[in-house]
Amino acid sequence: MKIAVASGKGGTGKTTLSVALANAVKQSVQYLDCDVEEPNGNLFLHPQVLAREVITVPIPEVNRSLCNACGECAELCQFNAIVTQGQYALVFPELCHSCGGCIKVCPENAITEIEKPIGSLTRGRSGNIEYIQGKLDIGNAMSPPLIRAVKAEEREDCLTIIDCPPGTSCPMIVTVRDADFVLLVTEPTPFGLHDLKLAVETVRELQRPFAVIINRADAGDDRVEQYCRNENINVLLRIPETRIAAEASSRGETILSVFPEMEEELRAMLAKIESIVEAQ
């Protein structure tokens, strides 16, 4: 089973919950850190790094001696990643989506592909947890290819916890689109409610089963609770707001070190999610 932990905004506690879920499972479990722009699950799981590899994407390269600036490639590209400039085509790698279409339409065979590094993939282990992390290189804006590389490590023989990127744009959608279940982490604030609504609309459009976790549940008002009741959305867990939890997090400790009794709650929640998925 693949459980994606997502949210409409950053800072709601996705990693807090993802790490706690992974620690609550006693058998083999995978933790995929797909928040590739700022992965931080390793700060709490402290995995032993076993391997690291560079992830690349193919980018077109123009042979100027062959290019006649016919414009076929520029006309095809929907992202303006290649344009005709003077006597030859000019490539903007940061806009390229690596579709390879420009190579196929070039009548002069003037375009080939080179591999451009975009980030790294790290494999590690922390006890019974297999840890996979993607980390985007500074200056790269295209995170979905790296997220797909991390998700390619998914196994079918164990539970997989996916720590998603924040928001509801392409990186989040790429991460949750094939998840068996999505946990939306929110907080009881006006910003939390606003972005939760966006996340709910997104997962409903993707037709993914989902439920809500309210972090810092006693820190705001009850508008999130009212929204979930009105929309018939299950709230599976409420995590209280405490100073000792914030202090533990700042030391790189998990929330289970503060609320050890939550371990049983998380196992019960996983069993409930499994029954919901099986009933689909």
Q: What is the pLDDT of residues 238-259, one digit of tens each?
A: 998 888 888 888 898 888 988 8
pLDDT band at 220 (very low <50, low <70, confident <90, very high): confident
Look at residue 164 and give its three-state secondary structure: coil
pLDDT band at 177 (very low <50, low <70, confident <90, very high): very high
Q: Is the pLDDT score of 127 beyond 80?
A: yes
Q: Is the pLDDT score of 280 beyond 80?
A: no
The span from the CA of 48 to the CA of 50, in Å, is: 6
pLDDT band at 265 (very low <50, low <70, confident <90, very high): very high
Q: Is 51 exposed, middle or buried, given 0-12, 13-18 or 19+ CB atoms closer than 10 A?
A: exposed
C-beta atoms surrounding 87 within 10 Å? 9
pLDDT at 97: 93
Mean pLDDT of 106-116: 96
Which residues, 6 or more positions from 82, have their beta carbon under 8 angstroms from its beta carbon?
60, 62, 73, 74, 89, 90, 91, 92, 96, 102
pLDDT at 217: 87
Write out the two tokens for 58: 């193919």
Mean pLDDT of 39-43: 94
pLDDT at 26: 85
Residue indicated by tokens 């279409």: 101
Task: Tell me the pTM.
Answer: 0.91
Q: Is the pLDDT score of 85 beyond 90?
A: no
Share the mean pLDDT of the chain.
93
pLDDT at 215: 92
Mean pLDDT of 172-191: 95
Which residues, 6 or more positions from 69, have their beta carbon under 8 angstroms from its beta carbon?
84, 85, 86, 87, 88, 89
Mean pLDDT of 172-188: 95
C-beta atoms surrounding 178 within 10 Å? 13
**SS (HEC) of 22-55:** HHHCCCCEEEEECCCCCCCCHHHHCCEEEEEEEE
